[in-house]
Structure 1
Amino acid sequence: MTTARTATPSTARAINDRLALDLLLEQGPLTATQLKELTGLSRPTVADLLERLQHSGLVTMVGESGAVRRGPNARLYGLVADRAYIAGIDVRTVGVAITVADLTGRTRATARLPAAPDTAPADLVDGAVRALVDATRRAGTDTLHTIAVGAPGLIDPAAGELSGTGGLPRWHADLVRALREQLGVPVLLENEVNLAGIAEQRLGSARDRDTFVLLWLGHSVGAAAILDGRLRRGASGGTGEIGFLPVPGTSMLPTATGCDGGFHGLAGSAAVCALAREHGLPAPAADDAPAAEAAVRAALAAGEDGAAFLDVLAERVALGAAAVCVVLDPGCVVLGGEVGTAGGTELADRVARRLAGLSPLRTEVRAGTVSGSAVLGGAVLIALDAVHQDLFGGP
């Protein structure tokens, strides 16, 4: 049972209101009796807070419970889902994915915009803004409370802007700027891998951990470090840029402007596809993240014929994981990204065995389990956090 803290009357009311709102958010509609039992508050206090929350437009009566005994105590109260809407945006070199959700986090509309190599950057930016506006209208509103954007590259923690890094499209930063200027709502910007880490912490395989590292294995490689329940970004927003990590097995060292000689050159999608071809597995010529994912799935389907490929891939992944673990000692590594999630427990178990031989620190290795886009899921989560803090308040 959760109990409210003692405080001044106004602070106590804010704490109690937030407590009730969080419960309605997590568990869905509840009766006054259920709220009393879950919060430990008195019946009059629960009645007062429900009256306040209904008056504020955040809560409404949505029906009655199935109890035989009817009356005020059987009324079900729930959040007013359309009180506010948010958007999450996943920006990649290959395109943009958009989700518009209501106050409860329920998806109301989605959109995708591919980014063809020959499309002008200005057209990509305009097209993405139009796609968001259209999705917002299809969700049943003209106004968004908050937009959260996940993008590759360094995010300046102080300015909240994309830092210039080689190899990333300029239109990514232009899109964030256009969203802020044209839509006039708060736009939160976060590194894509960090958002995937947040999603795994709250929705996926790390829900029971307050300290872990997400190892992203997709087009490129990266890491999200969540220590003691907090996402760590570093002084310049560069925590987790392990694509630049020098590792054995590459033909050269990485440079300040290129990670081909680092861990990226060993475990990025092009390297995974090349490894698959070396082992006689089908791998599309694109060498992108979907191609690498397809190669891993083909290896799993091939059984013993794909085992050698998975063993070598696990050895490579374990090199990057070991470097992170001996510095941070997270106790748990989650394999995310297209390759990590496709590999599932078979790849995770192989990495764990190899990692145990490289590091003296005991580390569990798990496969990511967030369905759909973990980046988009994380973007929705941080946007919802912002709207909940604004509307629900509380200390």
Structure 2
Amino acid sequence: MVLAERNTRHRASTEAVLGFAWDAEAFRADDVIAALGVTRSTTLAALDTLIEVGLIRELPSAGAEEGYRMGRPARRFELNDGAGVVVGLDAGNRRFRAIVADLSGRALAEEHLDVRGFHDAAEVPYPDRDPEERRVAAFAVIDAALSRAGVARGAVVGVGVAVPAPVDAEGFSPMHPRGFWQYMNADLQAALAVEFPGVRVENDAALAAVAERGLGEAQGCDDFVAMLVGRRLGSGVYLDGRLIRGARGGVGELEGLAYVADVGGTWGMGDLAEKWARERLESGLIPTGHPWGSPMPSAEELLAQASLSDPVTRPLLEELGLRLGRICSVVARFYDPARIVVCGAVAGALGEVIAIARAEVRRSAELPPPEIVTSRLGGDVVSLGAVLAARERARGLVSPLLSDRQARGPEDDSARSS
């Protein structure tokens, strides 16, 4: 019993020390002791265990250049970011994007793969759609990215997957009347878990929120909403420092906007801009020589070329700004966030739209209004969130996983990697 308790305490302290090292730069044992409040002997025993399994490496001693004049220099350590890899997969409607990263989150390689999605934003399915297509595509793009990075499947210690569907805490999506959600997810959690450890499937906007909290405009903010505004609207919600999903993953789906006057649904800013410009082009309301002339630019280009000083594009920006303001007001009343981060590939072109939205929210607010800011992560926000989710999932699994792989030996591990 005493030995079992001792082993349990050692495992717990080893996990805690790994948690400290996971996001730290080079450190000493004293840094761990100060952060975790554990003894020196406990710290050194945990570090030795992590070195043995390959997760921590000891650095050359600092020596005199860091102030050691007498005695033995303090040992220095860092995370061995090459001990494994993680994979972030953005499994979008029509394109899959996989990023392979080392354990520190540094991208090593990425690949894209176009897939058959639903026909259009009205969620009209192909009559012969088969969810197996998306499962096969997921493995194909992950394998291509792993090959580009020069690593095998057996090196993967965590996978984060983003899908355009509500996802509960177990990685499942509810049934959708037209089959969209279950097709987008395609039971990817179970499929990928056959080959990879530490699989975590989440809603794409939820992983945008993970990216903003870890790398972007919500760092240090416990109460915020990350709002994807491209083709469709979706939001990831953090309250009291926790990602909120709901019973079936529906928190942040914004389906209630169908009942909001002058909004009526979850069409995104990019989708609305394209429809608005197309209607005016077909009606002959776009002057010859205007940047919006035929052929019509993409949504990102349309919004980048629009300006309140241009009488042709000003009405669109005003319409989008008021619409975004109403949406943010609804979100603020439901969740009471300190901040709303506008995300996605078109977000950087929405400067004047967001300024109008801020004024609309201030005008209609009863509580102090949330800060509305633009994401700096651009179109990578979901993929980056998937990588962070994979790292987070891997952290709790990687130490016993590597220990097990060491025990099985290289031949057994290479067989699994093939």
Answer whether TM exceeds 0.5 for this pair.
Answer: yes
Select which of 383, 388, 391 maps to 1:384. Answer: 391
Please name the residue that 2:235 is paired with: 223
Select which of 357, 361, 365 maps to 1:359. Answer: 365
Q: Distance in 2 between matches of 1:298 and 1:92?
A: 26
Work out the percentage of aligned pairs sharing the same amino acid: 25
Q: Pick which of 37-46 and 223-232 moved more.
A: 37-46
Please name the residue that 1:23 is paired with: 20
- Does residue 368 of structure 1 match 2:375? yes
Quote the offset at 1:221 in angstroms: 0.6
3-state SS of 1:155 partner: coil
CA 22–130 in structure 1, closer or farther in 2 if over 3 Å, else same: same
Please name the residue that 2:87 is paired with: 87
Please name the residue that 1:99 is paired with: 99
Q: Distance in 2 between matches of 1:132 and 1:285?
A: 38
Select which of 298, 308, 327 maps to 1:320. Answer: 327
Structure label with greater radius of gyration: 2
Q: How does 1:1-395 map to 2 (within 5 A)?
A: 13-14=10-11, 16-36=13-33, 43-65=40-62, 67=66, 69=68, 73=73, 75-115=75-115, 125-139=135-149, 140-143=151-154, 144-158=156-170, 160-161=172-173, 163-166=175-178, 168=180, 172-174=184-186, 176=188, 179-180=191-192, 183=195, 185-245=197-257, 246-249=259-262, 262-265=264-267, 267-276=268-277, 278=280, 280=286, 282=291, 291-299=298-306, 302=307, 304-305=309-310, 306-344=313-351, 346-362=352-368, 363-370=370-377, 372-391=379-398
Count residues with an aligned counterpart: 369
Q: Distance in 1 between matches of 2:294 and 2:16?
A: 53
Q: Distance in 1 between matches of 2:178 and 2:294?
A: 24
Q: Distance in 2 between matches of 1:284 and 1:39?
A: 62
Q: Distance in 2 between matches of 1:270 and 1:372?
A: 15
Quote the offset at 1:375 in angstroms: 1.1
CA 371–74 in structure 1, closer or farther in 2 if over 3 Å, else same: farther
8 Å Cα contact 2:158-2:196 kept in structure 1: no
3-state SS of 1:27 partner: coil
Q: Deviations over 1:60-103 (max 9, x none)?
A: 12434453648853543122223232211101122100011222
CA 87–21 in structure 1, closer or farther in 2 if over 3 Å, else same: same
8 Å Cα contact 1:340-1:347 kept in structure 2: no
Amino acid at match of 1:351: A
CA RMSD of aligned residues (A): 3.4
Q: Pick which of 211-220 and 50-59 moved more.
A: 50-59
Quote the offset at 1:27 in angstroms: 2.7
Q: Distance in 2 between matches of 1:113 and 1:284?
A: 31
CA 193–359 in structure 1, closer or farther in 2 if over 3 Å, else same: same
With normalisation by structure 1, the TM-score equals 0.80
Q: Distance in 1 between matches of 2:308 and 2:171?
A: 49
Q: Distance in 1 between matches of 2:375 and 2:35?
A: 31
Q: Distance in 2 between matches of 1:342 and 1:128?
A: 31
